[in-house]
Chain A
Amino acid sequence: MNTSSLNLDYCIEKLQRGEILPENTIKEITDKMKELLIGESNVQEIRSPVTVVGDVHGQFYDVLEIFKIGGQCPNTNYLFLGDYVDRGYHSVETISLLTCLKLRYPSRITLLRGNHESRQITQVYGFYGECMRKYGNPTVWKYFTEMFDYLSVAAIIDDAIYCVHGGLSPSAPAIDQIKVLDRFQEVPNEGALSDILWSDPDPERDGFVESQRGAGYSYGKDVVMRFLHTNKMQHIIRAHQLCMDGYQTLFDNRLSTVWSAPNYCYRCGNMASIVEVNEKLERYFNTYAAAPDSLSNKPNLDTNKELPDYFL
């Protein structure tokens, strides 16, 4: 493989110091990433042991904390369930680091697509704005959002644990249907590709019901049990929903939600977790609070910098 002039170790080191990469480097890594991802299927098959990570939403210092708690990549295998950007102040650093790690250790880390890996959502929920502030133009945002179109949408651990960002779709009760979707596009507003990234489990209501989020559905226990049975899976791990304790299990422990952004939006006060899946497919939720660096690295976002402070 042609390594060209791209030095991934240097990029990773730079990012870990909190420094962003130049625009042309972003172009290089996103181009290479697209080439790599074309070879991955919609539903990636991976082997245990692996640590599964939920939404991180640009909380870069908490992502560094995850690698301290769960072990550095490549010593620990990782599966990320999406939602790398938006909300937090360091989406650029977060997605840049994860992209470099994937390029550097492709068989040790898997990155799935979340509902925020979308042009539409990132224009409203923060990533677009952050790219504009850090690079002065939307080019880097364009590079990353094009790359997002290539991300796999689901993974299966040891033919037993199905992992996806949101959940299930009435249009795709069989995993085989997910395998043949055309994923190389912007997340649509409806259909299976949209549903699996947007849906939420509902412990109170059976069946599929239109979601309050305006995309996807809520799915009940009956849907989950049927899915597991039809597809010969033992468990579903997904993310997408804030959990105050960092995780939540439902439906007689057949579905887990993992949430990995502690003190979400820097004000929610929640715990976060990562799920460590061992070779026996046992799941251990390793919980943690916000990293000390996370709060102290909050940038000044005031748009009107001429405000005299003594009036506030």
Chain B
Amino acid sequence: MSLNLLTSIAVDELPPKLEEMVTVKNTDSIPTVFKTLSKHGILSVPVLNEQNRPIGLVDYVDIVNCVVQIINHTDLLGNDYYSFLEREDLFNHTYASYVTDLSQRNPFIPVVKGASLLEAITIMTKNKINRVPVIDNNLNGDGAAIVNLITQSAILSYIGKNIESLGKWALKPIKELGFKEKKVISIDFNKRALDAFELMASHRVNGVAVNDEKGHIIANISARDLKELLNETRVFENLYLSVGEFISKVRQQDYKAVNPSISCHMNDSLASIITRMVAAKIHRVYIIDEERKPIGVISIHDILNKILEHINNLTIKPMQ
């Protein structure tokens, strides 16, 4: 049944269907790129060259890497106002072409229109990427054009709406499905926000757990939290706030209160975790022990990987 779910739908049919593809030019400055991301409420965007051909993708992880780079290069300048201005200047004069896949975790690996969802997921998990462009080769003979961008969240959302198709397997506790405890990359809430983003860049992850001084989880901080503060003119200054203050500022932009550290336990079922992640539109959930200390993390990548593994097992042993 799971197999059917993923092979019966083509990538171009996956909701949300875009009317027009959002893109940026390689000559756009970072502030422009990020205004585009922010305006459309998206986390990544294809970059086109002068001939309108796609050359790659930019996402918030790339922007975080850029910010961290700028700080590291200019650290000699210190923390006074003029140093912030210099960094802002550098930031404003960096262009999309430079930032495209700066993190090297966002390569442009497309699928062709009409490919099945299963193909897209296989490409994503194999290459450890979070999104896959869909290209159409047949448009006006002008060469390939991007017609859609399939994200992990969109796929998880689709699975969530059809959760029964995963069968009884998904109702088992995650520890029975092979999800294990592992060291969680975390940061103390009194450290600087900048340290959190540096941690993300150096460990090549998109989010880290924020803990209090006793190691209990308080919140999740991820690359996309940067977007709330790029709206202000004092980006770099905000990075010197403590992680706690930074998260407070970001979370309070929304009038609606949201659980800041959505978490799960080893006894929770995969189905319930998927449902909650889809409802809250999050990309990872922390596994916690009875003291609310993070003992593991499950990302959308981990879930898709597990589902693929399950499908492969099913095809080998159909009687299971």
List chain A positions with a Cβ less than 8 A from chain B: 86-87, 115-116, 120-121, 123-126, 128-129, 189, 198, 209-215, 241-242, 264-265, 268, 303-304, 306-308, 311
Contact = CB atoms under 8 A, between A and B. Distances in A.
B219 A210 contact: no
A308 B81 contact: yes
A123 B244 contact: yes
Given A210-B275, A214-B279, A124 B260 contact: yes
A125 B189 contact: no
Given A121-B260, A124-B247, 12 more contacts: A116-B257, A120-B261, A123-B244, A124-B260, A213-B257, A213-B259, A214-B276, A214-B280, A215-B259, A242-B255, A242-B256, A303-B241
A213 B260 CA distance: 9
A166 to B, nearest CB: 10
B245 interface: yes
A214 B261 CA distance: 9
Contacts of A129: 244-245, 248
Contact of A304 (B237, B252, B255): B237
B203 interface: no
B218 A124 contact: yes
Given A120-B260, A308-B81, A213 B251 contact: no
B157 interface: no
B212 interface: yes
29 contacts: A87-B252, A115-B257, A120-B260, A120-B261, A123-B219, A124-B248, A125-B252, A125-B257, A128-B244, A189-B262, A198-B259, A209-B279, A211-B280, A212-B258, A213-B257, A213-B259, A214-B258, A214-B276, A214-B279, A241-B256, A242-B255, A264-B255, A265-B252, A265-B255, A303-B241, A303-B245, A304-B237, A306-B80, A308-B81
B279 A311 contact: no
A308 B234 CA distance: 13
B280 A212 contact: yes
Contacts of A212: 258, 279-281
A215 B264 CA distance: 11
Contacts of B248: 124-126, 129
Contact of A213 (B189, B212, B219, B256): B256
Interface string B75-101: 000001100000000000000000000
Nearest to A311: B81
